Structure 1
């Protein structure tokens, strides 16, 4: 019987393991954490579901939706009203914004223009900031577009590749990426269901199995755990997050030099995110002209960013139509660094202060409603070392190069190895795991 060791029990590793176990392989998954799921992490605060890692089913990715249906994991689409707020305290529903001269007012128009520009210049790559400079973009629109690119991609606009952004935009368009859903009961139900399916297929998972070294030669792999135990197999699928690969946290002997070099060409994003659980949905109780629309608050977004270097949150969202009294505060990219030295308690107070200014109430009123706050520091998590991957200038080919088998023995998967433009997503990780399993089967 052919044997395979899978390093990492995130979605990529679990789906690859399930496919190979069903094909008759002897499969063992090694997971350093005390749980499965990787960067999917769901908590519960009373009756409220709180996502600390991956949260959204982005768009309508066919592989992921089919898998969720197969596993009997229902989803619900996020609907409701997106609100914008201005520095002077105005709050308005997105579809109430002026529509005339839309391309001159909408930062997203710059992103569409960027996609067209990239397709017209296939041999050229620029950072997003350099692209904006070349296009002589309006300062206010450029600021809004930069905020979106850095926040959504957890990236640095002075480094992220325009070519990668264009590929990502086209990939999102292909799956109706402007739609978003939640897994009912929490995203963690997906890896848990995959783990159960793996057990039924005859595979096994070793949790708290921290890999120290991967020693290999063509057709043979030995994996040494930090405990000193050594496991052997014919092949291995490595789903370590990009940040862990870049940090050489696991030693490879000999080094698959091309994979490690390409991993270092990419970048791991940073995020500060905190989930605020309140006694009530107090924002829906505010007496204002927007009272009715606030019953269905979804995203809360700025029309422009202030010039302060102080840590602040600019983006918030709810899970509507879920009526859980939870608001998520988000800061991605370089802005997330401003929170690095703060405690969770301090970060929660900042988020409540930002909400107070947006809604025109006092910080004490918001804090009086706060029951608990929940977050996870993925940058300091030794088994992640970052939130999710993004592509710097000149590195668009890195993911595809990392996806190539190494002497039909080592196979790499994970969202950073997705070759379809869906970096940083669960469905990107899923696709990479399916691809790695198919490569193993083809190689044998």
Structure 2
């Protein structure tokens, strides 16, 4: 028990518990700002009555652009899509063996993963309540499988706790809950809650704390079979004459607090990260491929938009072929623009000053993802880890274990880093080779005997250095939402914007799709009025 060593002060305890509440409060703030929210989807939009011959040009063949084109085409509009890249999907993307990726600055990576292995540089998981995306995945024949978000047997690492040694999540979480339950039980016995609870309520709460925190009959969190049933045994139960289990030692509570495990406990309760989550079979890029099967014949690839102009007669888009440099004009009655704001802000246009101010007001976050292909699944074979994440306070942020092909022999790809914030910018400033080296060095804290020994090859994507988006996703705050959001999403004459940046579900594919459906519904109404 912690009391046998150095018990945490009341201030330390309240700070730790308060940070759990703080995490929830931050998440609520993120929802308000548009970074996470349960979404609404009532089915495909009703675009009936479209005027014969009415045309729409869509800029960008990401999910928002392709869904807009799909539904507009179904309604009878003549649609054309211009896409900068030589593929559809945008940030919905997977890198497979044989792929090549060149980032800003000229560094080129040749991906050498074995057949079937991949890295998802952008989106990599789908919440169970992102109903729009799930609907169209089913409609477009995109097979999904479970994504294992929460794994009790993965690790939590902090350079500030346990001498820098990682610990199993289950043990840290059990010791945190057990110690908190014991302290709350003492508060009941000391009559600290008399003003809040009836005697019957206090009895019920004590019983609840005993069950939740695995406390003994004296309301103490101690080494024994109860605590080990949550945190794991030193010697697991077996069979026969020597089958009796051996309980495990408890961590000192001050070290548990230092580990920051409460942040992961709160993280897994975030609405977006609760079970069940999904991923496409074969990589996230399968979603983009599924959408492209519906509208691929409408897409002009390698088309770099250089000018957007609208007048009373319609919309004119000027674009250059990225290979030949040939410049072409495309005309339509209306335009759905899904180009990321970081790029759109650099394109000549005659949109209003307020619209351009909104486009330029929203910064994009930076993140770096690194895929590390290993010779064998040592995390499964040696550590009994099947999916989920191990967290660290180092720059890589986490290591995520593959959620497919369990128990198979041969190479497999770990997500060796998902670096955000300062870590994302720092790794973004490195060469691809330097990123791989950092991921190997920092990730070795979890699997020191295997990480470098089993490493085969790696690939990384720094979103701040990705030329067609120059950032990961839009990061609104309270002020920019108040001053610019409604102006950004408003239909201006013949042009409407769509994408995750035009939603309150920012940084998720669901936000892109919902924004597209909303944008084309309003555009259709305008077209009928015209």
> Is the contact made by 2:387 and 2:403 (CA closer than 8 Å) also made in structure 1?
yes
Out of 15, 24, 29, which is 2:76 matched to? 24
Out of 395, 412, 415, which is 2:480 matched to? 395
The answer to whether 1:3 aligns with 2:55 is yes
Query: Could you tell me which residue of structure 1 aligns to residue 306 of structure 2?
Result: 212
Query: Could you tell me which residue of structure 1 aligns to residue 244 of structure 2?
Result: none
> Is the contact made by 1:83 and 1:297 (CA closer than 8 Å) also made in structure 2?
no
What's the CA shift for 1:242? 2.2
Aligned residues: 365
What's the CA shift for 1:428? 0.6
The answer to whether 1:342 aligns with 2:430 is yes
What's the CA shift for 1:43? 1.9
Q: How does 1:73-112 map to 2 (within 5 A)?
A: 73-79=142-148, 80-81=151-152, 82-87=154-159, 88=163, 89-94=165-170, 97=173, 98=175, 99-100=177-178
The answer to whether 1:186 aligns with 2:283 is yes
Which residues of structure 2 form unaligned runs of 5+?
1-52, 97-112, 184-255, 321-325
The answer to whether 1:269 aligns with 2:269 is no
Separation in structure 1 between the aligned mates of residue 331 and residue 319 of structure 2, nearest angstrom: 11
Aligned residue for 2:279, secondary structure, equals strand
Aligned residue for 1:354, secondary structure, equals helix
What's the CA shift for 1:439? 1.6
Q: TM-score if structure 2 supplies the norm length? A: 0.63
> Is the contact made by 2:428 and 2:462 (CA closer than 8 Å) also made in structure 1?
no
- Pair 225,297 (structure 1): closer, same or farther in 2 beyond 3 Å: closer
Query: Could you tell me which residue of structure 1 aligns to residue 31 of structure 2?
Result: none
Aligned residue for 1:268, secondary structure, equals coil
- Pair 251,60 (structure 1): closer, same or farther in 2 beyond 3 Å: same
What's the CA shift for 1:333? 1.4
Query: Could you tell me which residue of structure 2 aligns to residue 330 of structure 1?
Result: 418
Query: Could you tell me which residue of structure 2 aligns to residue 72 of structure 1?
Result: 141
Aligned residue for 1:73, secondary structure, equals coil
Separation in structure 1 between the aligned mates of residue 381 and residue 492 of structure 2, nearest angstrom: 58
Cα deviations by residue, 1:326-371 (Å, 9 ceiling, x for unpaired): 211111012212223321112111111112223343xxx5223112
Aligned residue for 2:505, secondary structure, equals coil
Out of 383, 391, 397, which is 1:301 matched to? 391
Query: Could you tell me which residue of structure 1 aligns to residue 317 of structure 2?
Result: 223
Cα deviations by residue, 1:184-238 (Å, 9 ceiling, x for unpaired): 1122222222222125xxx611000111000111451000112321111101010
Separation in structure 2 between the aligned mates of residue 385 and residue 147 of structure 1, nearest angstrom: 30
Cα deviations by residue, 1:402-434 (Å, 9 ceiling, x for unpaired): 111002x0010010001xx31001111111111
Query: Could you tell me which residue of structure 2 aligns to residue 256 of structure 1?
Result: 352
The answer to whether 1:356 aligns with 2:439 is no
Separation in structure 2 between the aligned mates of residue 377 and residue 32 of structure 1, nearest angstrom: 19
Separation in structure 2 between the aligned mates of residue 261 and residue 94 of structure 1, nearest angstrom: 48
Separation in structure 2 between the aligned mates of residue 435 and residue 26 of structure 1, nearest angstrom: 19
> Is the contact made by 2:125 and 2:279 (CA closer than 8 Å) also made in structure 1?
yes
Q: TM-score if structure 1 supplies the norm length? A: 0.75
Query: Could you tell me which residue of structure 2 aligns to residue 440 of structure 1?
Result: 523
Query: Could you tell me which residue of structure 2 aligns to residue 384 of structure 1?
Result: 469
What's the CA shift for 1:399? 3.3
- Higher gyration radius (CA): 2
> Is the contact made by 1:265 and 1:392 (CA closer than 8 Å) also made in structure 2?
no
What's the CA shift for 1:319? 2.4
- Pair 69,359 (structure 1): closer, same or farther in 2 beyond 3 Å: same
Note the aligned Cα RMSD (angstroms).
3.0
Out of 360, 376, 380, which is 1:280 matched to? 376
Separation in structure 2 between the aligned mates of residue 263 and residue 95 of structure 1, nearest angstrom: 47
Separation in structure 1 between the aligned mates of residue 339 and residue 441 of structure 2, nearest angstrom: 37
> Is the contact made by 2:61 and 2:83 (CA closer than 8 Å) also made in structure 1?
yes
The answer to whether 1:36 aligns with 2:88 is yes
Out of 225, 232, 239, which is 2:331 matched to? 232
Query: Could you tell me which residue of structure 1 aligns to residue 234 of structure 2?
Result: none
What's the CA shift for 1:282? 1.9
Larger relative contact order (Cα-Cα within 8 Å, sequence gap ≥ 6)? 1
Separation in structure 2 between the aligned mates of residue 101 and residue 178 of structure 1, nearest angstrom: 27
Query: Could you tell me which residue of structure 2 aligns to residue 166 of structure 1?
Result: none
